[in-house]
Structure 1
Amino acid sequence: MTVVVLGSANLDLVYAVDRIPAPGETVLSRGFASFPGGKGNNQAVATARAGADVRFIVALGRDAAGDRLADEARRAGIALRARRVDDPTGSAVIFVDRRAENSIVVDSGANAALVDLTADELADIAAADLLVLQLETPLPTVAAAVRAARAASTKVVLNAAPSTAVPADLLGRVDVLIVNEHEAAELASEPAGAGEHALLTALTGHGCAVIITLGADGALVGVPGKAPVQVPAVPVEAKDTTGAGDAFAGAFAAALDRGTRATDLAALVAATEFATAAAAIAVQREGAVPSIPTLEEVEALRATL
C-alpha cells in the first residue's frame, strides 16, 4: 500500500439547468443523473486511476447509497477501510448550468461519524508513503491523521477544501497544501484580490509547500524560500467543472507517489503539470467520478502538448 486517502464519500444528485436558481426561483432541469462523489471518494478514485495503490478510509451508511459507493470504489481498484454506521450516507445536490458552472449543497451524513481513528486506521496511515486529506470530514479527525502521519514519516497532502479555518499548527505539519485562490485567501487571512503571489508567500510561511490552483490560468507552485513557478493550464472547452479540483488533487498525489515523494520544487512542478492535464480532461466530461481520467488518458494528452 502506498497512498491512503482519508475523507468523505457522497452520492451526488446532479441536475443540468440553464442557470443556477436564484433565491425563491424554480427552474426546470434539462437532465438528471446520480454519481459517486464526495471529495475523499473523488480523490481516491483519481489517485487510483492515475496509477497509485490506494486505500480509502471512509464512513458510509448502512443503506443502498453506501452499498453503491463501496461497490464502485472497489471496482475502481481501491482497497476500502470503510466504517458502516447508522447515519445515512453523505449526499450532495449539484446544479450545473450551460456555462459549466455549478452550485452544490452537501449533507455530511455518515461522513460526520468519521471520528476517533481506530487502531487499524492509524496503522494504515503509518504504513503508507503518502496520506491525502480534505476538509469534508471533522477537522479533529484530519488533525489526528496528520499527527499519526508525521509520527510515521508519512508524507501529507492536504487539499484544504471546502474552505474553513485551519489552525496554523496543523498547516505547519503538512508537507503539501493544495488550495484554490478563494481557499488560499481564507487560510492566509488576506482580502480578496490580494494576488496569488502574496497568498503563496503567506501560506509557505507555515513551512509547507503550496499549490494554488487557478482554473483556466493553471496553477502556482511554491516552496519556502524560493521563487514560485507558474504551471499553465491546458486550454480546453469546459463542460462540467464538478470534481475537477479533486481530479487535480488525486492525480497530483499519484504523480508525487510515482516519483521520489520528494517535496522539492522540481518534483512539485512535475506533479502539478501531470495534475493539470488530468483536470483538463475532467472538465470536458460530466459528473465527478465519471469525469476522472486514467493514467493512459493523461499521458496521451501530455504527449500532444
Structure 2
Amino acid sequence: MNTGSPRIVVVGSINVDLVVTLERHPRPGETVRGRSLTVLPGGKGANQAVAAALLGGHVTMIGAVGSDEYADTGLSMLTSAGVDLRAVRRSPGTTGIAIVEVSDDGENTIVVVPGANAEATPALVDSAAETIADAAVVVAQGEVPADTTEAAMRLGSGRVILNLAPVIHLNREALLLADPLVVNEHEGALVLAQLGGREASDEQSVVEALLECGLASVVMTLGAAGALVSDGGGIIAVPAPRVDAVDSTGAGDAFVGALAVRLAEGSGLEDSVRFAVQVGAYAVQHAGAQPSYPALDDDLPLQAQ
C-alpha cells in the first residue's frame, strides 16, 4: 500500500474466476473440449483495486466475500497488493463466482454468479462513509446492487469514476455524478437509452449524446482501438499500442485502475486515459484478470510479447 498517495476507494465486486481455456467458443447447443481450468481471484471491483494498488495507489476496497473455501482466493491478490480490506464483509454463503472462457484468439465470455456480492449493501457503504468522503477518487461498477453503487457515488466528495459494467439501472441523479463515466461502445448505447438521450449511430456520436445528457466527462473504451475521451471540449481519440493478445479478461478493469491512479495524482483526464490505455494493452498480454504490473510511465513503449 502506498500510504503517501491520495486515497482511492473502490466499491464493487470480489469474485473467484474459474478460467477455462479452449480453442474456440462453443456455438449455442454445442459442446467443445476445454484445454485447462484455473482458479484465480477476480471480480471487477477487486480487479480495479489490485491494478490501482500495484500501480502505486493507496487503495481501500469495499465489498463482500462468502464463508466458503473461495473467500481467501478472492482476497489473495488484494492482500498481497496491500489494499486496505477493513471494509470488506465476510457473509454467510458463497463467494461470487465468474466462469470465464478464453479462446485461442484471446477473446473471452464470462458468466457471473453474484453470491456474496449481493451483501455489499448501502449499510456497508455507510459504515465507511468517512473513508469514501476523504477519497480523491471513488470507483464504482455494476456488479453490486444498484442502491449500493448510488450510495457510494453520493458520498464521494472527490472525483467519481463510474464504470457501468454490466449496465444496471441507476437513477439519473446518480448517473450524472460520474466524472468520468467509463463504458465500452455497447454499454455506452445502453446508458444513453437509460438517460433518454437522442439516437446515436456510432461511437463518437454516442459520446457526444451522453455529454448532452449532462455528464461531466465520458471515456469510451474501444478494445484494441484504444479509447475516446471528452469532458465537453471535443472528443479525443487515444490509440492503443499494437500487442499480441493472450487474454482480454480484466483489461477494462486494468484500464479503470490505472485511470483512477492518475486522476488521484492530479493528472488531467486525457493524460490519465493515455496512461490507462497503455496499462490495458499490457494486461491483455498476460493471463488472468489480476496480473502484476510493472512500474510503467507514459513514455514506456509496450511491445508484443
Q: TM-score, normalised by structure 2?
A: 0.91
Q: Which residue of 2 aligns with 1:269?
A: 270
Asked if 2 retains the 8 angstrom alpha-carbon contact of 1:48 and 1:78, the reply is: yes
**Aligned-partner Cα distance in 1 for 2:218–2:224:** 18
**Aligned-partner Cα distance in 2 for 1:207–1:96:** 34
Matched, 1:144 2:151: yes
180, 183, 207: which one aligns with 2:215: 207
Q: TM-score, normalised by structure 1?
A: 0.91
**Aligned-partner Cα distance in 1 for 2:38–2:263:** 33
Matched, 1:255 2:255: no
213, 232, 247: which one aligns with 2:239: 232
AA aligned to 1:222 is S
Q: Which residue of 2 aligns with 1:264?
A: none
**Aligned-partner Cα distance in 1 for 2:298–2:189:** 32
Matches within 5 A, 1:118-157: 118=124, 119-149=126-156, 153-157=157-161
40, 65, 77: which one aligns with 2:45: 40
**Aligned-partner Cα distance in 2 for 1:299–1:223:** 21
Worse-matched range after superposition: 245-254 or 69-78 = 69-78
29, 32, 37: which one aligns with 2:34: 29
**Aligned-partner Cα distance in 2 for 1:185–1:271:** 23
22, 46, 49: which one aligns with 2:54: 49
Q: Which residue of 1 aligns with 2:17?
A: 12
Asked if 1 retains the 8 angstrom alpha-carbon contact of 2:246 and 2:284, the reply is: yes
State the Cα distance separating 1:297 from its structure 2 match: 4.0
Q: Which residue of 1 aligns with 2:95?
A: 89
**Aligned-partner Cα distance in 2 for 1:110–1:169:** 27
**Aligned-partner Cα distance in 1 for 2:199–2:205:** 11
State the Cα distance separating 1:30 from its structure 2 match: 1.2
AA aligned to 2:272 is A
Asked if 2 retains the 8 angstrom alpha-carbon contact of 1:281 and 1:298, the reply is: no
Q: Which residue of 2 aligns with 1:161?
A: 165
State the Cα distance separating 1:148 from its structure 2 match: 1.2
Asked if 2 retains the 8 angstrom alpha-carbon contact of 1:48 and 1:54, the reply is: yes
Asked if 1 retains the 8 angstrom alpha-carbon contact of 2:141 and 2:163, the reply is: yes
AA aligned to 2:121 is V
**Aligned-partner Cα distance in 1 for 2:173–2:145:** 17
Q: List structure 1 runs of 4+ shifted beyond 6 angstroms.
A: 190-193
**Aligned-partner Cα distance in 1 for 2:104–2:228:** 28
User: Which digits, 9 at most, give the CA deviation of each residue in 1:166-208, with x for residues without a partner?
Assistant: 3322221122110000000111127997111111111112232
User: Which digits, 9 at most, give the CA deviation of each residue in 1:78-124, with x for residues without a partner?
Assistant: 01121010120000111111111111110000001111334432122
- RMSD, aligned CA: 1.9
Q: Which residue of 1 aligns with 2:119?
A: 113
State the Cα distance separating 1:302 from its structure 2 match: 4.0
Where do 5+ consecutive residues of structure 2 fail to align? 1-5
State the Cα distance separating 1:298 from its structure 2 match: 5.2
**Aligned-partner Cα distance in 1 for 2:72–2:298:** 32
Matches within 5 A, 1:238-249: 238-249=245-256
Q: Which residue of 1 aligns with 2:174?
A: 170
User: Which digits, 9 at most, give the CA deviation of each residue in 1:245-302, with x for residues without a partner?
Assistant: 0000001111111225xxxxxx111000100000111111111112x523x1455734
Where do 5+ consecutive residues of structure 1 fail to align? 261-266
Percent sequence identity is 41
AA aligned to 1:275 is A
Matches within 5 A, 1:53-72: 53-72=58-77
